[in-house]
Amino acid sequence: MASIRYSIDGFREALRHEPSFREDLLFAVALVPFAIILPVNAVSTALMIASLFLIIIVELLNSAIEWTIDYLRPEHHPLAKRIKDMASAAVFLSYLNCLAIWAILLWPGTGVWKRLAEKFASS
């Protein structure tokens, strides 16, 4: 059970010290309910939610890498910058992945918007 406690501690530290993590978490918290109410199949819903979780996971890894580099090499160094930039690129790619998944699943030709309008019109 210690591993769970360490995970919770890491989550708290990210919330406390990482503005980007808080923004990513807010983004996910805002979109998960939307993914759940959309009239798409369970696999599509799971893909949409998983793409949001991936952003959070990659952001945690990015933050851990940045903190490690800052700890090991507090002075500026070109390799430290390269490492941090690569980790940041991974976060960017996770956002592109999320955008691609949501765009493909919600593309106008899929009929999702029509089904959503019908769902709320009948309520």
Q: What's the rounded Cα separation, in Å, for the pair 101 and 88?
A: 20
Q: Tell me whether residue 15 is annotated as binding.
A: no
118 in a labelled binding site: no
Q: Annotation-wise, does 59 bind a ligand?
A: yes
The answer for residues whose C-beta is within 8 angstroms of residue 47's C-beta and 6 or more apart is 101, 105
The single residue of 13, 23, 59, 118 carrying the catalytic annotation is: 59
Ligand-binding site membership of 81 (annotated): no
Secondary structure (DSSP) of 64-93: HHHHHHHHH--S--HHHHHHHHHHHHHHHH
Distance CA 23, CA 35 (A): 18
* Number of other residues whose CB lies within 10 A of the CB of residue 70: 11
Residue 59 known to be catalytic: yes
Binding residue per annotation — 60?
no
Residue 23, annotated as binding a ligand: no
Q: Quick one: tokens of 119?
A: 């769902």
The reply to whether 85 sits in an annotated binding site is yes
What is the 8-class DSSP label of residue 108?
Answer: G
Annotated binding site for substrate: 59, 88, 102-107
**Residues identified as active-site:** 59
